[in-house]
Amino acid sequence: MNEFELKYGCNPNQKPAKIYMADGSDLPVTVLNGRPGYINFLDALNSWQLVKELKEVTGIPCAASFKHVSPTSAALGLKLDDRLKKACFVDDVEGLDDSPLACAYARARGTDRLSSYGDFVALSDECDALTAKLIKREVSDGVIAPGYTEEALSILKQKKKGSYNIIQIDPDYVCAPIETKQVFGISFEQGHNNLKINEELFQNIPTRNKTLTPEAKRDLIVALITLKYTQSNSVAYAYDGQAIGVGAGQQSRIHCTRLAGTKADTWFLRMHDKVLNLPFKKGLSRNDKDNVIDAYINKNEEDVCENWEKHFTQRPEPFTKEEMRNYLDSLSGVSLGSDAFFPFGDNIQRAHMSGVSYVAQPGGSIRDDDVIETCDRYDMVMCFTGIRLFHH
């Protein structure tokens, strides 16, 4: 099959729509179930590149959650401790530790659950039954993977009344070195971004502190590969093998850093005792819990506590801004990547508020000295990678 007819393009009025191979060859993807749309395929193909590259560099199974052609998170298949399992709503799953792919998905989906609502999932490895069971119980548009076990495929085909989008991609497919697209009838052409992201990028360290731990190198790789497939401008915070805050598509660098930092803060605060021990009513859905937790952390926690009868068995304790700030100030060891240089030290100041200890960015700003000085003030390690990762 060298083309696939889509229901419509980005919007229902944009018809006809299809994907196809310009050279007449067969598509490297097979639709096993459902009818993916235009945006579904944009998410699928971008997210697949991310997990494929991340697996190649780290050797660890990984997963990504995508919405509107940017990742909400990407994660390696590392085991989750009990607090993280509870924060990601997978503490009820038996055998999770036995499936690295399921661990990767649990982390990716559990990072920014509000943004992942209705996501497209990418898996680096053949989807197993446990991973399929986790996907089945979340609100999602589809999944792409290099393969599915018979049991996993049967489970996923039951989702969305049988219409769940399931795509299988040829893991050996390599795209042409030159890529093209059209905008307003005008054709664009460029070389595909084959830039390799690995530890070699972290050799130029202009800060006083030059100690990069193995974990920091791993997390910086996670952040940069995530950014490679995120709509620019973009910044990503990473910790413990996963992207914990992605700020995508902002016009200014500081807004990227603030947006991603707020998401990283929320991720950390979800693991605070006050959040983990919220007295939710039995039977409350995970999606309702997500909304309540977000309000408890980011909106008016006093209002949430005043109107507690709807969601809780008893009135929860308020989570004050001072308590949150003290908790976040105790954090460290977070890694931060940026797809282009930081023009001012204010980005580093904001990053410090979310526990950032390690930074990777291209460098090359006329104010690099100010950015380095700000890093030194907080004893951060910063690498100048010399590479830009814009993606549009």
Rg (CA), the chain: 21
The conformational region for residue 168 under phi > 0 = left, psi -120 to 50 = alpha, else beta, is beta
In 3-state terms, what secondary structure has residue 162? helix
To the nearest 5 percent, what fractions of the chain are helix, strand and coil?
40, 20, 40
From the CB of residue 286, how many other CB atoms can be counted at a distance below 10 Å?
Answer: 12
Catalytically annotated residues: 67-68, 233, 392
Q: Quick check: 127 and 152 in contact, CB under 8 A? A: yes
Residue 309 has, within 13 A of its CA and on its CB side, a CA count of 0
Identity of residue 80: L
| Sheet strands side by side (includes 356-361) | 29-33, 165-169, 140-145, 119-123, 62-67, 70-76, 242-248, 234-239, 334-338, 356-361, 381-384
- Rounded distance between C-alpha atoms, residue 74 and residue 227, angstroms: 10
Distance CA 26, CA 282 (A): 50
- For residue 216, the one-letter residue type is A
How many CA atoms lie less than 13 Å away from 169 in the CB half-sphere? Answer: 23
Residues 228, 207: contact at Cβ < 8 Å? no
Give the whole-angstrom CA distance, residue 121 versus residue 186.
32
| 165-169 and 140-145 beta bridge pairing | parallel
Per DSSP, the residues of 315-373 read PPPP--HHHHHHHHHT---EEEEESS---STHHHHHHHTTTEEEEEE----TTHHHHHH
Buried-exposed string 19-50: b where 16+ CB fall within 10 A, e elsewhere: beeeeeeebbbebbbbebbbbbbbbbbbbbbb
End-to-end CA gap in the chain:
28
| Alpha carbons 389 and 392: distance in angstroms, whole number | 10
